[in-house]
A and B are shown apart, each in its own frame.
Chain A
Amino acid sequence: MNCHRTRVAVAARFLAPVLVLLAAPAAHAVPSFARQTGMACEACHTVWPELTHFGRVFKANGYILDNLKQVRGVTAQKEEILSLASLPPLSIMVQLSDTQLAKPMPDPAVAGASQQNGSVAFPQQLSLFYAGKIAPHGGAFIQLTYSNDSGGIQIDNTDIRFADLKTLPGDQSLIYGVSLNNNPTVQDLWNSTPAFGFPYAGSNSAPGIPYGTQIDGALGTNVAGLTGYVFWNESLYGEVGLYRSAQQRTLPLDSTAAGVLSGSAPYWRLAYEHNWGRHSIEGGLYGASFKFFPGAGQALAGPTDDFQDVAEDVQYQYLGDTHLFSVTATRIHEKQTLNATYAAQVAADAGIGNLSNDLTTLRGFATYYYKRKVGATLGYFSTTGSTDAVSAPNSPDTKGWVAELNYMPWLNTKFSVQYTAYSKVGGLSNDILGDGTGRKASDNNTLYILAWLSY
């Protein structure tokens, strides 16, 4: 979800509308893992990027499982001090897409004119991955992306981790490790959390959801996090860590930067997974607490805008040889206490908004695949919360449905048709832009056609 932007994206405009794309365009799986392990994609994925239990264990173990010839180094005490694959684990990913809105958006520069409908993205994204083992107990998932909306190459999702395994009495196992990453939940093992949650790709040219919570992809690539985790008996998972601002293009951070974290933000995760037969079910909690300096002209000191995120998630999978079915859902609740913004508004004696807001995002999706060849997903999304007079729109309420059809001629190639239907945008069903043009929420309905190749 590297395109998510939320209320904190622009300093001192915490309640300004900043469109949040529904999709998670940076959620990927990569063939370099298949090259490294010698296993087909189906070992780790139902259909990429959704992980199977094995894929989750592979990730928790630090991406180190391999069958390639290694360049090794050992000490006289037989301690392994180097283990590098003879070939680097590289992959390329390309997304080509076309976006069609039910009604084109107004041209921002010419009154009465419309933007061209039918946005072709060639490519929408082109990514280079280094994804695989880097040391005896270490692995990395590093993504560099060219995207047509930025027009440049930038760092994307990154997860570098070190892990080890202990065997406990009674044939139980304990995987433990640390992850250094740049997007809260990118290191998570389940697809019910934001970074690798459905939809796995979406339009970057269509209008999206006006507001989103911080943990829902808002901070991707602008933070650095160090987390430690344990995975007991491949069922009980716990993780804690800290995130700190690590913004791109601005260093060192000062008053010219916006949305800078004060100190470090704690992150936590607890999940339990139960597997039986071909079934797997997981339920969990995750959350984080962020304190931001507004910056953007103000010194990085004094009061902060505080965001407390607490979320629940659930995932169910059925992995048959012919039929595959999965359900993922999450609900994220955010409590906002905008000390800095409120104080600034009071001092200016103008446009005084709420000191406190709440925001709740709910998403749920069900996916079916036939022989990993043809599949469909149907899902619901909703963001609701308090209204604030100084925001435009002043309500975050946005609701709708997503339906997606997929065809995979080969395991590393996916063709998708996705339709997103909105029943409400910014608390409104009609005149959602508030400019008298009468644009309806359903005018934002989006048809998105995608060719997604990984090799």
Chain B
Amino acid sequence: MRHPILLALGLLCALGIGVVHADDVDQATHEHAVHVAVGTCGTCHGPTGVSQQPKYPLLAGQNANYVAAQLKAFRNQTRGDADAIGYMWGMSATLEDGTIDALAQYYAAQKAGRGRAGETALVAKGRQIYEKGVESVGVPACAACHGPDAHGMGDFPRLAGQHAQYVMKQLASFQNNMRNVAVMHGVAQGLKVEEMRAVAAYLEAQE
């Protein structure tokens, strides 16, 4: 943990805040959440969290803790990127904690979508950044938190297979602090657009 960002991330993991357990969700809440997931969230994210539109993130197989944290951030209007404000603040406004936890469990239980192969050279460059970071500008390896296979760890989201367009947009939002996450702002601020494209292409190609 030589890198200050990694140290911060380690502390976040150690805190273990907001862990979602399947046992926490009763049957009625689960059924309600499935109804919401299919009938409401599914409009953009697909009935099982496999969105067809690259503007909307894949949620199938996503870590439950991450989904729950994001839904609460939308509901509490603390996540401030443009699409969060335009889409998710409204859609999450009436979600109760129990439903959020059940939704998180629902998506975590879905089979993740398949990745899409990208341009070989770009994917290779993205892999390099994902696994090693960009030391010259202080960008740490993404794999340190998101896992070597990009399946996520603890509170850190799964990125494997995620739509490149969505990943690009999030990195840009971290960079300009519209999505105000100090750790990711620190990570992303040193990335050039071409490097973000490469990482996004690499992640989209993973399963």
Chain A residues with a Cβ under 8 A of chain B = 34, 37-40, 42-43, 53-54, 57-58, 61, 64-69, 78, 165, 167, 171, 173, 233-234, 275, 277-278, 319, 321
Contact = CB atoms under 8 A, between A and B. Distances in A.
Interface residues of B, number: 28
B180 interface: no
A65 B93 contact: no
Nearest to B164: A277
A61 B43 contact: yes
Interface in B79-111: 82, 85-87, 89-94
Contacts of B165: 277-278
B87 A277 contact: no
Given A69-B94, A171-B50, 5 more contacts: A67-B91, A67-B92, A78-B31, A165-B42, A278-B165
Contacts of A234: 52
A72 B90 CA distance: 20
A350 B93 CA distance: 70
Contacts of B52: 233-234, 275
Residue among A43, A58, A64, A234 with most chain B CB within 10 A: A43
Contacts of B93: 38, 67
5 contacts: A37-B90, A39-B87, A69-B94, A173-B46, A234-B52
B48 A171 contact: yes
Interface of B: 31, 38-40, 42-44, 46-48, 50, 52-55, 82, 85-87, 89-94, 113, 165, 169
Contacts of B44: 54
B192 to A, nearest CB: 19
B53 A165 contact: no
A374 B165 CA distance: 25
A53 to B, nearest CB: 6
Given A54-B43, A234-B52, A40 B94 contact: no
A275 B55 CA distance: 11
A165 B44 CA distance: 13
A65 B92 CA distance: 12
B40 A167 contact: no
Residue among A39, A68, A69 with most chain B CB within 10 A: A39
A57 B43 contact: yes
